[in-house]
Amino acid sequence: MNTKSSVLKLPALLVLCFAVAAVSAYAQQIFIDIDFESYTSTAQMGDQETGDWPLFPADQDPDLAPLVTQDPDGTTNQSVLMSGGVNRGWWEIMDLNPTDDEPIVFQFRVYDHMTTEFDEDAEEEVLVAGANYAEVRAEFGNIFAAPFWIETQVGEFDVTRYQARVFAGPGWIQLAAERSEGWQEFRFVIFENSVDIYVNGELDPNGTAIPWNGGSMEIVNIGGPFSTANFPANYDDVYLAQDPGAARAIDIVEHPEGREVAVGFEFELSLVAEGSGTLTYQWLKDNVELADSDPRVSGATSDTLTITGTEFDDAGLYRVAVSDGSETTLSRGAEIDVQPFIFLEVPGTVQLEEGENAVFSVEVEGEEPFDYQWFRDGEEVTDGGRISGATDATLTLAEAVPADAGRYSVEVGNTHGSRETEGAALVIAPAPTGVRFADFEDIVLPAANGTVMFRAPSFSGSTSGNVAAPNLAQVTDDVPEGNWGAQSLLVNFSFAADLANPWLRLTTFNVATLGNPIISFEQFLRFDIHTNEDVYVTLAVRETHAPGLSPANDGIGEDGGTGDGNIHNGIEWIGGDIDPDSVPPKARLVRAGQWTTLYFDIPNELVTAFAGVGADGELDGDRGTIEHLAFMPVRDGDDNYPTGPYEIHLDNFEVTEVGPPAFVGLPQVAAGRTPDGNVRVQVTGEANASFALEVSGDLVNWEPLATIEADGTGVAEFIEEEVSTYPRRFYRVNVED
C-alpha cells in the first residue's frame, strides 16, 4: 500500500461568516506568539538549558525528525513538521483561567496534506484515517485540541471533515468544516464554561458555545503524543493570549433545546439572549434561513420559533443567529427528531412478590388511533387466563408466578409508523416460606454507613485490626445482576496483609435499624449473598432469650437487645461443615461472581462457643439474635490470601421451616487452577453425600482419585497437587445405580 499526497475535490459547505468586534477596558496579555522564523537548527527547538522555546519534556528527544522545515506550499516561511507520536513543541504556561470578560484565545495554523492511500477493496485512493493535533493541556490531559482525530473513531467521524476536542465537556466532536489541502487556521475562544471554535475565521456551526466544566490551563503542545505516523501535518503561527477583546458582546443565556416531536403536532423553540444594543434574530434549519412566508412557520426572526403541522422533513438541527448590529452570535444547535408519535411514559421495571399482580403501561402522544402489541423476551404476549391487555396500552398479569419473569416491551403503531419500547424487567421475588425480616427495599437512600442491620466492618474490637479501607456497610441500589431486589446491603472492606488468622466480625450490635434481629433457634436462617472474592461465611448468634432472661421483644426481626451480662449473653458460632477446628469454624464457602442462597439449619448445626457469659457450645432457649456474620478469605496456597477490597452484598434474610431445595440430577464437576499451581476440583450435588472422584488424561482410561464428602449445602472440594507433570487432566464423579 503506497501513501502519497493528493488533493480530493470535496463539495462546498454552506457556512455563515460573522464579523467579530468588541471594546474592553482590560489589557490583552499575550503568552505565546511564535512563527518559528528565528529557529536556525533542530537542536534550538529543545534547548532546556538556555530556555529557548518551545521546550520539550525531559524524557523526549528533540532530534528525532527535522523539526524546522520549509512550509509545504513553497514559501520561505518555516514551520514545524509533526509525523508520529512525539511532542514537537511544548510551552509551559501556568494556571491561566479564562473568564467570560477575559477569555483565552488559542490559535494556530496547520497544513493539511490530505494524505491518501490506495484501498485495495475499493480499488481507489482514499483519505487516510489518522490523528494529528495541537492542544492546550492541563496537568490531567488535553482540554482543547484540533484538528484530526479519526483513527480511533473510524465510522463515527467523517474523514472529510475536521474534529476538535473539548475535555470536561462532550469530548471529541465532529466539526462542520470540510477539509481541503493547504493551510487551515483554527481558533479556540475559551470562556469560563463554554468555548467557540473558529475554522478559517468562521464560527463552526458544530463548535458554537460548546459547554465545558472550566479550569486552568498549563501547557500548549503541538503534535500530541497520540498523533499517528501515517498522518503528517505542519504547524505554524502558534498564539495564546488572554484577550478581553474576544469577549462576547452578546451572551446567550438559554440555548434552544432539541426533542422528539410527533408528526402533525406543533413544536416551539426559544432562547434567551442578552446584549447592550437592540438584538435581532434569524432562525436556521441545517444552516438554511427560515422565513415566516412558510405558512407553517412563525417567529423566524424572533426569539421564539413555532412550527405547526410537523412533517418528517422538519427533522434537523435548528439554530438562531443573534445580532446587535455589529456582532452576530450563533446559538448551539437543537436537534428536532420527528417521529410517528412520541412516548410520554414507557414501561419501567416491576418488582413484586409471587402472587401479586404485575402491571405494565405505556402512554403516547400523536395522531390516533394507536395499535398495541406487548412482547415478553421478544415473543408476542396473548390474552388468556391470568393475562389481559396484550393489545392495549396496559398489560396486566394477575397473580404473577416466577415463570412470568422476563423483559416486557410494547410495539405501538399509527398511520405514520410504529415504534417499540425498550424491554422492562419483571422481577418476581419468591414468596417467603417463613418470616422475611430484612430485604432492605424500604430503606431510604442514602443510608449512613453502619446504620442498617450491621455496623461498619471496623466496629468490632475483635477484628478491627484485621480490616482496612474501604470500611462500609450500607444499603445500595447498585445491586449485582441476578437478585430480585432493587436494593441490598453492601459490605465493602479489605483485609490487612500478612495476618495469621484473617477474619471479619460484622456485628449487628445495637444498630439503629434492624439491629440485634431476633431469629428462631428451631428453624432455618436463610439469606442471599454475592461476593467479588471467594469467601467463607459463618453465623454467630447471641443467646438473648435463654432461660432467666426477659427479652424486650419476641417477634422475628425485632430488636432483641444484647442480653443481660450478669446472667447470660453468650455468643455461639453456628456451623463448621468445611473446617470445624478453625477459628471461627468455616461453615459455608461462597464462590465469587454469583448470587448464592445460604441456609443455616440452626438446631442441627455444629455449635462452637465464641464469647460472653454462658457461651458453652450449646444453644440455650428457643430463640436469640444474629450477633454477627464472620467472613474469612479463601487462601491461595498455604500462606497467601486475597486482601481485597471485598464487595459482599447481603439480602433477603428469612427465618423459615423450609430448608434448601433437594438436589435434582447428576452431580456437577468444575475444576480450575489455584495460584500456587494446584487444581481445585469442586463437586456440587446432594447435601452430605459422598462422591467418588476419578481422573483421566485421555477421557478413555479413568483412575480413582479420592472419595470426598459434601457439606450441608451439597458442595465438596478436593485439591490435587503436583499436577504440572501432566499435559492435561480430566475429572468426573462415578455415579453408581
State the average pLDDT for the chain: 83
Lowest mean pLDDT among 184-188, 338-342, 678-682: 678-682
Q: How far from chain centre, in Å, is Cα 148?
A: 27
Q: Contact at 8 Å (CB) between 159 and 175?
A: no
Mapping DSSP onto H, E and C, the string for 417-479 reads EEEECCCEEEEEECCCCEEEEECCCCCCCCCCCCCECECCCCCCCCCHHHEEEEEEEEEECCC
Q: How far apart are CA 289 and CA 374, in angstroms?
A: 43
Per-residue model confidence (pLDDT) at position 309 = 96
Q: Which residues pair with 302 in a beta bridge?
A: none
Peptide bond into 645 cis (omega under 30): yes
**Cell numbers standing for residue 410:** 410494547
Question: 3-8+24-246 adopts what CATH topology?
Answer: Jelly Rolls (2.60.120)
Query: Do the bridges between strand 350-353 and strand 424-429 make them parallel or antiparallel, or are there none, so unpaired?
Result: parallel
Q: One fold for both 341-429 and 434-656? A: no
- Any idea which of 14-28, 84-98, 316-330, 489-503 has the lowest mean pLDDT? 14-28
pLDDT band for position 697 (50/70/90)?
A: confident
What number is the average pLDDT over the span 577-587? 91
pLDDT the model gives residue 174 = 86
Least confident range from 135-144, 281-290, 397-406, 472-481: namely 135-144
491/143: higher pLDDT:
491
The pLDDT of residue 604 is above 70: yes
CATH number for region 434-656: 2.60.120.260
CATH class (in words) of the domain with range 341-429? mainly beta
Q: What is the pLDDT of residues 245-274, one digit of tens each?
A: 888 888 888 999 999 999 999 999 999 998
> pLDDT band at 4, cuts 50/70/90?
very low
Domain 250-339, CATH homologous superfamily name and number: Immunoglobulins (2.60.40.10)
The more confidently predicted of residues 198 and 25 is 198
Q: Which of 4-13, 506-515, 712-721 has the lowest mean pLDDT?
A: 4-13
The whole-model pTM stands at: 0.55
Taking the CA atoms of residue 364, residue 369, residue 374 and residue 375 in that order, the dihedral angle to the nearest 10 degrees is: -90
Mean pLDDT of 695-702: 83
Cell numbers at 389, concatenated: 391487555
- Determine the pLDDT at residue 58: 43
| Average of per-residue pLDDT across 539-565 | 77
Instruction: Give the start-to-end residue ranges of the domains of the chain.
Output: 3-8+24-246, 250-339, 341-429, 434-656, 668-734
DSSP 8-class letter at 230: T
pLDDT-derived band at 11 (thresholds 50, 70, 90) equals very low
Model confidence band, residue 436 (pLDDT cutoffs 50, 70, 90): very high
**Partners of 528 in the β-ladder:** 597, 651
Q: How far apart are CA 566 and CA 683, in angstroms?
A: 47
The answer, yes or no, to whether residue 153 has pLDDT greater than 60, is: no
Most confident of 5-9, 42-46, 110-114, 568-572: 110-114
Residue 282 pLDDT exceeds 80:
yes
Looking at residue 310, what is its pLDDT?
A: 96
Q: Among 96-100, 223-227, 289-293, 419-423, which stretch is predicted with the lowest mean pLDDT?
A: 223-227
Q: Output the pLDDT for position 492.
A: 96
Distance of CA 240 to the CA centre of its chain: 36
Q: With beta carbons less than 8 A apart as the criterion, state whether 199 and 184 touch.
A: yes
pLDDT of residue 57: 44
- pLDDT given at position 8: 26
- Confidence (pLDDT) at 67: 47
Give the model's pLDDT for residue 568: 64
pLDDT of 228 > 80? The answer is no
Is the pLDDT score of 172 beyond 60? yes
| pLDDT of 28 over the 90 cut | no
Structure confidence at residue 139 (pLDDT): 55
Report the percent of the chain where pLDDT is more than 90.
Answer: 43
Calpha distance 172→444 (Å, rounded): 39
Distance from C-alpha of 501 to C-alpha of 295, rounded to nearest angstrom: 82
Over range 654-675, report the average pLDDT: 77
pLDDT at position 564 = 63
Q: Extract the C-alpha cell encoding 491.
A: 459490605
Q: What is the pLDDT of residues 60-115, one digit of tens each?
A: 443 333 445 556 766 657 777 777 655 556 677 767 888 888 999 999 999 888 88
pLDDT of residue 65: 39
- Give the confidence band of 1 by pLDDT, cuts at 50, 70, 90: very low
The pLDDT, as a whole number, for residue 62 is 39
Mean pLDDT, residues 213-241:
80
